[in-house]
Structure 1
Amino acid sequence: MNRDIEVVVQSLARRNIEARYFESLPELEREILKTVPISATVGIGNSQTLKKIAISEKLKARGNVVFDKTVASNKLESGELSKKAILSDWYISGTNALSREGHIVNIDHTGNRVAAMIYGPEKVIVVVGVNKIEDSLSAAIDRAKNKAAILNAKRVGLNPPCVELNKCVDCRSKDRVCNNLVIIEGQVDKERLKVFLVNDNIGF
């Protein structure tokens, strides 16, 4: 673990958030499967990071009941899976950005992902690639607005102004994806939410 990662881990600890660091994706995947009980229901946040390691499929294959809206065949099913995910035993999500000071920053379209991260599931794992670490809170918010939100809009076929301009203009478009900006600055229960850092440029 290099010094920059140590700083982030220490910053999170001061905010009552435990962080673990993994050198590789296979190591990360093994730890998730080891940490989450087979008997647990698991909600999955819509995350390119989690899709890369196919954690939803691996949890299902070993017997977990998994609520993952990304596998829904229609909007109604997607909504139902999102609601069940918020009430699951465990919730696993990526994040848009993480500051060196320990701020966990996310921008959501509908808010289901950030809702589950904040309240609902008994336990939460937030998976973060080192590419998402920013020097400050303002830089982390900038990353969420001017990188992650734009790429997510493109991914789902929406067309807010930022897609063409390649920057956030605080629009009021019907296609706006950055409707919910949430900054996790700490937590009451140290055992609830944990951050799993991985030495990989994963997700956006």
Structure 2
Amino acid sequence: MDDNMKSEMIKNFKSRNIEVSFFETLEEAKDRMIELIPPDSSVGVGNSKTLKDMNISKLLKERGNIVFDKTLAENKAESEQVKKKSLLADWYITGTNAVSKEGHIVNIDHSGNRAAAMIYGPDNVIIVIGRNKICGTLDDAVKRARNISAPMNAKRAGYNPPCLQLNRCIDCKSDERVCFNLVIIEGQFVKDRMKLFIVDEEAGF
């Protein structure tokens, strides 16, 4: 990532009260996350391949944080309770499907718990993405979320919506659909509540 693009994104997100930091590797981003989150804080964790690759839930639990990660639940009922508790955590960490250089954060969610926690609830939110999720405009970011992220996340979760075969979104009504919630974050009321970590690696869907 060149310096001009970094400066442009820092400026654009700052104007929307969102703090942006750049890192060379996921490991560097993980170290910064551990540094920022106090050991006695509760932490909600969004279902993110990027965070799974960072092994962040395990690290936080081992040092004493209370961690709400639905993927560690033993059954569906427990998973639902964990998702609700995440909404009241001190911190929430997650990935997202796409961001625009203009300063938008675009999410497509199945149940909506991840987007809900990003928008309201936890006092601090960290979003970690790879460079592959940076798009030029809001329209580009929405297209990426619909046509790249949603199909790949559906496949990861064991669903088979039409977009998997068609390689494009058709706004289906399939029972296999995972993209029930399209949420565009255009800014934050509370300055720097939301921190965007951008890593100069390919990461996640």
TM-score of Structure 1 vs Structure 2, range by shorter chain: over 0.9
Local SS of the residue matching 1:150: helix
Asked whether 1:167 is paired with 2:135, we answer no
Tell me the residue number matched to 1:65: 66
Local SS of the residue matching 2:74: coil
Deviation of the 1:90 alpha carbon: 0.3
1:185 maps to a residue whose letter is E
Moved more, 6-15 or 100-109: 6-15
Whole-angstrom distance in 2 between the partners of 1:10 and 1:49? 25
Tell me the residue number matched to 2:149: 148
Moved more, 190-199 or 33-42: 190-199
1:63 maps to a residue whose letter is G
Local SS of the residue matching 1:188: coil
Whole-angstrom distance in 2 between the partners of 1:55 and 1:7? 29
Deviation of the 1:49 alpha carbon: 0.6
Asked whether 1:115 is paired with 2:116, we answer yes
Local SS of the residue matching 2:178: coil
Map Cα deviations across residues 5-27 of structure 1 (whole Å, 9 max, x no partner). Answer: 22112110111111111112221
Deviation of the 1:203 alpha carbon: 0.5
Deviation of the 1:129 alpha carbon: 1.0
Whole-angstrom distance in 2 between the partners of 1:13 and 1:202? 23
Whole-angstrom distance in 2 between the partners of 1:46 and 1:6? 29
Whole-angstrom distance in 1 between the partners of 2:63 and 2:43? 12
After superposition, where does 1:83-98 map in structure 2 within 5 Å? 83-98=84-99
Tell me the residue number matched to 1:180: 181
Tell me the residue number matched to 2:128: 127
Tell me the residue number matched to 2:101: 100
Moved more, 186-195 or 33-42: 186-195
Map Cα deviations across residues 140-182 of structure 1 (whole Å, 9 max, x no partner). Answer: 0000000000001111111111111111000011111111000
1:60 maps to a residue whose letter is K
TM-score between both structures, scaled by the size of structure 2: 0.97
Whole-angstrom distance in 2 between the partners of 1:9 and 1:56? 28
Local SS of the residue matching 1:175: coil
TM-score between both structures, scaled by the size of structure 1: 0.98
Deviation of the 1:70 alpha carbon: 0.8
Identity of counterpart residues, as a percentage? 54
Local SS of the residue matching 2:132: helix
Local SS of the residue matching 2:96: coil
Tell me the residue number matched to 2:7: 6
1:91 maps to a residue whose letter is Y
Whole-angstrom distance in 2 between the partners of 1:39 and 1:105? 30
Tell me the residue number matched to 2:191: 190
Root-mean-square deviation (CA, aligned residues, Å) is 0.9
Tell me the residue number matched to 1:78: 79
In the alignment, structure 2 segments of 5+ residues that lack a partner are none
Whole-angstrom distance in 2 between the partners of 1:51 and 1:190? 28
